[in-house]
Structures are given as C-alpha cells and as structure tokens.
Amino acid sequence: MNPLPMIIATIRRHLGSYALFVALVGIATGIGVAITAQEAALRKGSARAADKFDLVVAAPGSQTDVVMAAIYLRPGTTPLLEPAMTAQALAEPRAKISAPLGFGDSVKGSRIIGTLATFVEHLSGGLQQGRLFTAENEAVIGAAVTLALGEKFRPSHGIEEEHDGDAEDAHDHEHAVDMVVVGRMKPTGTPWDNAVAVPIEQVWRVHGLPTGHAPGDKRIGAPFDPAQVPGVPAIVMQPENISAAYGLRNVYRTNASMAFFPAEVLVKLYDIMSDVRTLMAWLAVATQGLVVLSMLAGVVAILSLHRKQFAILRALGAPRLYIFLCVWGQVVAICVLGAVLGLAIGAGAATLVSYLLTASTGIAIPARIGEDELWLVGGMVLFGLGAATIPAMLAYRYPVIESLRS
C-alpha cells in the first residue's frame, strides 16, 4: 500500500495552506529550540568566563553586583574593601595569586582594569603578542581591543559611552598620563577580551590614592606596603588548593569583607534562569501544541473538501487503512517539515542572539543544537504523529455512500 501519490497530490493542491501550516509549526518549534539552546549557551559562556576567578574577596554587599563588575565587567558601583583588609588579602600567603581589581577608567570604549601582571598571565594563559607590563605606564590589552602594540593612549575617567560620544567632553575627563600598549592577551571568550589591563598602582595614582608602595617607589606588583594600600572593589584569589580555598573563604567572611566562589553566585543565577527557561520552554511547548491543533483544524477543514474524493477511492477498492494513511501522512509531513524548519529557525535565532549578546557583553556564547533541542523537536514530532490520528480517524470513518452523494 502506497498512499504517497495521494498525499503528494493533496499537498500540491493546497500548497499555500500547507506551506503556511509548515511555517507555523516551524516558527513555534523554532521559538522553543532557540530558548533552550540560548539558555544552555548562556550558562556555558558565563560559567567559562568565571573559570579563572576561583575566589573573590570584596566589601560586604551584593555578591551578584561584585560578580557582574569584576568578572563580567558590567558598569556599576561596588563599595571598596577597607584598606586594612585589602592589604591583608593582597599579602595572603595561602593564595598563589591575590590580585586587586580596580575600575573606573576607559579608553576607546574598553574598560581599564588595574590589576597585577601575574593575574593577566593567569587569565590569558600566556600572551598572544608582546609582554606583560613591568612599569606603571604600560598596558596589556584584551584580544579584541582596537589598540595596537606600541600605541599610546590616555585613560579617560569613567566609561566612554557615559560621555555620550562627545569627544571634547571625553577629552576633559582624560587623565594626564601617557600609557603604552606592550602586550595583547589571547582570546578568552570573556569580557576581558575587550578590556585593557594596567598596573593597579597606575589606577590608584591617577585617582590620587596611595600606590601601595612608599612614595617615590616605582616598583609595581606585590609585595605591597600595608600602610600605602588603599581600598579596592574586589580581590581575586587563586588558592593553593581546594582546602585552602575553603579556608580563605572562611577567613575573609568578616564584618568588613565577604568572600565567595563566583560559582556559588552563578548557581543561584542559573537556578533563576532555569526557572525562567522552564517557564518559557513550557510556554513554547504550549504554543507548539496550539499551533499543531490549529493546523489540525485547518487540515480537517481542507479534508472535508476531499470527502467525495476519498469515497471515490473507496469505490475504486481502496481499503479504509489507505484513506487513514493518506490523511495521517499529510499531517505527519507537515509536522516533520515544520520540525526540520523549526530546528533551522531555532539554530539561526540562537546564533543571532548569541552574536548580539557576545557583541554587547563580550562573553562568548556558543549556541548549539544539542540533545535537549533534539528531544524538544522529537517530542513535537511525536505529538504530531499522535495528533495526526484525529483527522485520519475522521477520514477513516467517513461514510462512503453519503460522501459519494455529496
């Protein structure tokens, strides 16, 4: 039994309607695919961006704000860690790296972060070009920064976008210090790709703060003079081992400081994201279901025009099963084509959203179609296979004589 000629003939006869059904199923499926793919990509991208930030010490407040500012380099105000606590943390012997992070300036739209050369090395895993900074006026740029090696620049106070693109206004905010680019980091897939790392001493100095060393001392990096260390928004530590990590977290959980693993914050964020994703995924599934049911209503309406045709086939000797398969096959064809289209739409939408998010956050968000998305599409096809039996059973039960007379 081969109902394919009839299925093809009917689809060709109502090509416009069937194309619309396929498009509707495709769009509904695509929305679901895009949501799940994007959420997974966002989770992976954000987790990867936080990989090198083992333990963060900051002033008491919102851990989420600190993560957003220190790891994702989002603009915002974070209170400063007290100088004494900063000095203690920077001299922490159980940490392989204890790097301050100081923000506030920018150049050509890239944020300038004051830190240590060892942290830049740790973050980048070796440089792509040049060398690490060894003097206060040297800078290492992120992989995507538009400055060139050897290029000189003056840091602007604040973030350039905040000056509304007014060059004169931005010029007024420039610090009177000439910096030179000496190295470029490897791509990290994090917002740091668009950041400029400079010695923390330089950030402190241009803001009129002590530089962590005795006046006149031009050294950069650790060890710092505790009497000369100002406060910082955050310190990133790379503990010696896991037990040291938990030990340090306890040590710096005081009235004057908080210490946390960024993963803890991300897990909370992912929980919220997961809830939102679940809600949106259910909405997408419900939309798919409604679209399939609407499509079925349309198919039933179209098939009612073919009642006589089916009765003729029965008169010519077609078994009822043949009629069933003709209708079932049409609906299944719509669902399968819609699912394939939806997969393509979902992949395209997720890629586009990833591109836009990467452009705005700097976090590499590689959206891919994975098992979850295939299950979603597979579920939709299975639902379609089941739902297709409704119009198929209606056609199966069409009374032949009444239909022949119609």
Partner 1 sequence: MVRAPALSVRNLRVVYSDRNAQVTALSVDALDVAPGTLLAVTGPSGSGKSTFLYALAGLLRPKSGTVAWDGRDLLAGSESERDRWRRHTIGFVFQDFHLLPELTPLANVLLPASFESVSAKASLKDRAAGLLERFGVPSKRKSIADLSRGEQQRVALARALLFDPPVLLADEPTASLDASAGEMVAQTLEDLAQREARTVIAVTHDPMLIERITTRFQLERGQVRQTESAKALA
Of 274, 320, 348, 383, the residue at the interface with partner 1 (CB under 8 A) is 320
Give the interface segment with partner 1, choosing from 17-25, 163-171, 236-244, 314-322 (CB under 8 A): 314-322
Of 16, 316, 359, 360, the residue at the interface with partner 1 (CB under 8 A) is 316
Closest CA to 196 of 171, 159, 232: 159
Of 109, 319, 378, 386, the residue at the interface with partner 1 (CB under 8 A) is 319
- For residues 241-265, b (16+ Cβ closer than 10 Å) or e, as one string? eeebbeebbebbeeeebbbbbbeeb
How far does Cα 349 stand from its chain's mean position? 13
Of 135, 297, 356, 401, the residue at the interface with partner 1 (CB under 8 A) is 401
Q: Which residue, 21 or 153, is less far from partner 1 as judged by CB?
A: 21
Q: Rounded to an integer, what distance in angstroms lies between the CA atom of residue 221 and that of residue 217?
A: 11
159-218 positions binding partner 1, by CB under 8 A: none
Q: How far is the CB of 396 from partner 1 (least distance, A)?
A: 12
* 1 makes contact with partner 1 (CB under 8 A): yes
Q: How far is the CB of 362 from partner 1 (least distance, A)?
A: 54
Of 2, 150, 216, 272, the residue at the interface with partner 1 (CB under 8 A) is 2
CA–CA distance from 183 to each of 86, 104, 143, 149 (Å)?
27, 21, 10, 6
* 307 makes contact with partner 1 (CB under 8 A): no
Q: Rounded to an integer, what distance in angstroms lies between the CA atom of residue 74 and that of residue 65?
A: 9
* 404 makes contact with partner 1 (CB under 8 A): yes
Q: Rounded to an integer, what distance in angstroms lies between the CA atom of residue 334 and that of residue 23?
A: 9
Q: How far is the CB of 346 from partner 1 (least distance, A)?
A: 32
Question: 281: Cβ–Cβ under 8 A, 6 or more apart, which residues?
Answer: 32, 35, 36, 376
Angle at which helices 262-304 and 320-361 pack, to 10 degrees? 150
Q: Which residue, 15 or 276, is less far from partner 1 as judged by CB?
A: 15
Of 84, 273, 312, 340, the residue at the interface with partner 1 (CB under 8 A) is 312
Of 116, 147, 203, 313, the residue at the interface with partner 1 (CB under 8 A) is 313
Q: How far is the CB of 327 from partner 1 (least distance, A)?
A: 15
Q: How far is the CB of 298 from partner 1 (least distance, A)?
A: 19
Of 80, 309, 390, 394, the residue at the interface with partner 1 (CB under 8 A) is 309
Give the interface segment with partner 1, choosing from 90-98, 153-161, 286-294, 309-317 (CB under 8 A): 309-317
* 6 makes contact with partner 1 (CB under 8 A): yes
Q: Rounded to an integer, what distance in angstroms lies between the CA atom of residue 19 and that of residue 15?
A: 6
* 129 makes contact with partner 1 (CB under 8 A): no
Longest dimension (CA), the chain: 106
Angle at which helices 307-315 and 320-361 pack, to 10 degrees? 140
Q: Rounded to an integer, what distance in angstroms lies between the CA atom of residue 41 and that of residue 318?
A: 51
Where would I find the H helices in 262-306?
A: 262-304
Q: Are 362 and 336 in contact (CB under 8 A)?
A: no
Q: Which residue, 1 or 242, is less far from partner 1 as judged by CB?
A: 1
Of 318, 339, 365, 395, the residue at the interface with partner 1 (CB under 8 A) is 318
| End-to-end alpha carbon distance in the chain | 27
Angle at which helices 389-396 and 262-304 pack, to 10 degrees? 20
Q: How far is the CB of 319 from partner 1 (least distance, A)?
A: 5
Of 167, 317, 359, 360, the residue at the interface with partner 1 (CB under 8 A) is 317
The interface mask with partner 1, positions 13-52, x = CB under 8 A, is x---------------------------------------
Q: How far is the CB of 304 from partner 1 (least distance, A)?
A: 17
Q: Which two tokens stand for residue 50?
A: 């936080």
Position 332, amino acid: V
Question: 134: Cβ–Cβ under 8 A, 6 or more apart, which residues?
Answer: 117, 182, 220
* 405 makes contact with partner 1 (CB under 8 A): yes
246-265 positions binding partner 1, by CB under 8 A: none
Position 147, amino acid: L
Q: Which residue, 6 or 206, is less far from partner 1 as judged by CB?
A: 6
* 5 makes contact with partner 1 (CB under 8 A): yes
Give residues in contact with partner 1 (CB under 8 A): 1-6, 8-10, 12-13, 308-309, 312-320, 322, 400-401, 404-405
